[in-house]
Amino acid sequence: MMKRALLTGVGGYLPERVVSNAELSASLDTSDEWIRERTGIAQRHVAGAHETAAFMATAAARAALRMAGAAAGDVDAIILATSTPDQAFPATALRVQAMLGVTRGFGFDLSAACCGFIYALSVADGMIRVGQAEGVLVIGSEVYSRILDWQDRGTCVLFGDGAGAVFLQAAGPAVEPAARGVLSTHLHAQGTLGDILYVDGAVGQRDRPGTLVMNGREVFRHAVTRLAEAVDEALVANGLQRRDVDWLVPHQANLRIIDAMGRKLGLPAERVVVTVDRHANTSAASVPLALAEAVADGRIRRGDLVLMEALGGGLTWGSALVRM
Ligand code: COA
């Protein structure tokens, strides 16, 4: 009998430095008004030199383990979604493993851009279901400030840095649909759309570390369509109705996309978790950071049905439905 992955802990980390729209507009041809109106973003956190993907991931993972009442010895695997790793190798996940004092099991990084956390959660859920691991840290950690062209007003105003983590633990066989845990994940990708959102370099390309390039309108168009499909797919697969969803925890790229998804589900605004106004788009960290905030302030509670969705460069997109 397959096991169910329970989400027993969640935590986040945000860099100390906050950069407001006003601060950006001092050196860039943009305005607080334009950024707020088009995206809902008012500020973002920007990492200092010591706040690397591994550093922030470790802080978020510690918080998730603390909430779960778990220790380093309970961690079998660490799956870390990032597009901004500390090094080409070892995997940032293994730097985190070392900093947490985990001395067994395994870990690896996963690259799926802004949908990375959903992908990582899906892989972890599968490993727990088949008995390959009992305790898995799933982390999204990003320092996009290091891959942004700070002269490009069309992209640099949209992103921020941060990390979010969840701890998944195997629970006994649970087949009833109301049982807690990860109910489903659905993943999608379309590589032919790779050129609408990408980084034009990497460590594998000589002298080209790369900066982020985006066709905002095209990404927006695909996001609204694909995410709406993903929401329906998750509900149909679980035999659930829109009204069954207690919380939408969407990827935080743009308030207009988030609002469209909330309307699609018929959810009142207060049932949609929004952090994009303060965090901007933290890519793979955005969903677990939003989840961490809503759990910490008592909005999301045990037994609530939470729908997460994200879309990112690749294109990659998908959903996860979790009963807390
Ligand atoms: N400040 C002021 N003006 C800006 C600006 C900024 N930061 N960025 C772009 N502009 C200007 C453009 O130069 C353009 O000017 P022009 O008409 O004189 O050429 C104008 O604003 C409109 O640009 P456009 O890109 O068409 O705006 P938009 O309404 O599509 O909004 C985004 C731009 C990026 C906010 C929007 O397309 C978006 O959110 N896309 C999705 C992005 C996303 O979610 N990415 C991450 C996915 S993981």
Among 22, 282, 104, residue whose Cα is nearest residue 292:
282
pLDDT in tens, 170-222: 997 665 656 899 999 999 999 999 999 999 999 888 888 899 999 999 999 99
In a domain, residue 176? The reply is no
- Whether the CB-CB separation of 176 and 103 falls below 8 Å is answered with no
Instruction: Say whether both 280 and 167 belong to one domain.
Output: no
The residue whose CA has the least distance to atom 3 of ligand 1 is 30
Dist. CA 305 → ligand 1 center (Å): 34
Specify the CATH number for the domain of residue 22: 3.40.47.10
Verify that 79 and 191 share a domain, yes or no.
no
pLDDT reported for residue 208: 85
Pair 150, 236 in one domain: no
Residue 315: DSSP 8-state: T
| Residue 198 bridge partners (DSSP) | 213
The secondary structure of residue 196, as a DSSP letter, is: G
* Mutational test site, ligand 1, from 38, 151, 258, 316, max ligand atoms within 8 Å of CB: 38
Residues 184 and 306: their CA atoms lie apart, in Å, by: 11
pLDDT single digits (tens) 103-135: 999 999 999 999 999 999 999 999 999 999 999
Q: Is 106 in the pocket of ligand 1 (CB under 6 A)?
A: no
User: Residue 177: what pLDDT?
Assistant: 55
The answer on 285 and 213 residing in a single domain is yes
What whole-number distance in Å separates Cα of residue 323 and Cα of residue 114?
A: 23
State the Rg of the chain over Cα.
18
**Segments forming the whole domain that contains residue 149:** 4-171
Nearest partner of 136 among 284, 276, 6, judged by Cα: 6
- Look up tokens 């950024």; give the residue: 35
The total number of structural domains that make up the chain? 2
